[in-house]
Structure 1
Amino acid sequence: MDAKIRELTPRMWGQSPTRCIERINVYLRGWSSYFRICTEENVHRLHVWDAHIRRRLRAILVRQKKRPRHLFRHLQERGASVRGAAHSAYCRRGVWYRSNSVGMTVAYRNAWFHERLVSLESTWESLNPRPKLASGQTLLFDP
């Protein structure tokens, strides 16, 4: 899974982020349908993969704004504070560090990705609904 995500989200993505998200969605839909039978203990790993994919996409967005001042303006237009946008844009650290900085996470919140990107965790929860119990009942065994 990790190698395929790296392949689908290369560092030097030259097309629009929407196109990259479309490619990832195709893969994630197929992957989640094939591996939908997993235990609840492994659902945390799906959450970690979702976060990793979002961070890789944020890194692509940072890389596409080649100059720091362009990234600064873009983050401000998307609602980041001046201080957060400045830290994200003018920080001397690499793209990976800046992809998880305050300015990027405010400008591209998880809700923004939730509208566009397939979530492995929510897909698993929709494919494996929990049994509904009446009030006062307890589940004695795992179905």
Structure 2
Amino acid sequence: MESSTKYLEEKLKLTVNRKKSRTVSVFAIRKFKFLGFTLGRNGSGIYVRVHPKSWKKFKSKLKTLSSRKKCQSIKPSLEEIKVYARGWLNYYGMASMKNNIEDINGWLYHRIRMCIWKQWKLPKTKKRNLIRMGIPEYYAHIAANSRKGHWFSSNLTTVKRAMLKERLINSGFYDLATAYQSVHVNY
């Protein structure tokens, strides 16, 4: 620690915060946080993952960006989500997080469907839009007149079939899983 501090302060002219700084061995400590990453060791070697606090912060920010109160128009919300998620993925792209990204991606699709469902407001508008998206009139009527809340209704099979991933991506949704695969390949 002393030699590192001496090098950083004298040679590189950087200030080291001695209260926060410590030296650890990846082999001695099971997991530790470093710049939002968790470094550790398992049977196949050393791994780099996103720290749980960073995941929580990411999901919280996505939740505010896709809030039901905020998304009067879905296009600006989709653009803000795209900008934030792209920056986050570029920073954490080297970490192993395929399963977590897929979970958050599915959750985010559900949130976007919920926002669109809320935007449509009236049952007749919901029914008309579902029919326009290729859903038979009978099923569109049942889904549109559901008395359940926005979150529940946006997860109905009818609504999911109407708002497929491809349709949402074409309207401007940023698919996290696809973006992660392209970023992670570069590392």
Report the TM-score when normalising by structure 2: 0.64
2:124 paired with 1:83: no
Matched, 1:19 2:43: no
The answer to whether structure 1 residue 118 and structure 2 residue 174 are counterparts is yes
**C-alpha distance after superposition, 1:26-56 (max 9, x if no partner):** 11100110110212xx301101111111111
Match of 1:56 in 2: 111
Q: CA deviation at 1:119?
A: 1.8
Q: Per residue, is there more helix in 1 or in 2? A: 1
Matches within 5 A, 1:24-63: 24-39=81-96, 42-63=97-118
Gaps of 5+ in 2: 1-57
Amino acid at match of 1:123: A
Query: How far apart, in 2, do the equivalents of 1:125 and 1:86 lie?
Result: 39
User: What TM-score, normalized to structure 1?
Assistant: 0.82
In 2: Cα distance, 1:14 partner to 1:45 partner:
25
- Which structure has the higher relative contact order (CA within 8 Å, separation 6+)? 1
Distance 2:71 2:101 in 1: 28
Give the residue type in structure 1 aligned to 2:73.
Answer: S
Amino acid at match of 1:117: F
Q: Once the 2 structures are TM-superposed, how far is the Cα of residue 58 of structure 1 from its aligned partner?
A: 0.6
Shift of the 49–14 alpha-carbon distance from structure 1 to 2, 3 Å rule, reads: closer
2:185 match: 129
Q: Is the 8 A contact 2:71 2:115 kept in 1?
A: no
- Checking the alignment, whether the CA contact within 8 Å between 1:84 and 1:102 is kept in structure 2 is no
Separation of aligned partners in 2, 1:106 and 1:83:
14
Q: In the alignment, residue 175 of structure 2 is paired with which amino acid?
A: S
Displacement of 1:6 in angstroms is: 1.2
| SS state at 2:69 partner | coil
Give 1 or 2: higher strand fraction.
2
Equivalent residue for 2:65? 8
> Aligned-pair distance for 1:78?
1.4
- Please tell me the residue identity of whatever aligns with 2:185: P
Q: Take 1:14 and 1:125, find their aligned partners in 2: how far apart are those partners?
A: 28
Q: Size of the alignment, in residue pairs?
A: 129
| Partner SS for 1:128 | helix
Gaps of 5+ in 1: 131-142
Residues 93/27 of structure 1: CA separation in 2 closer, same or farther (3 Å cut): same
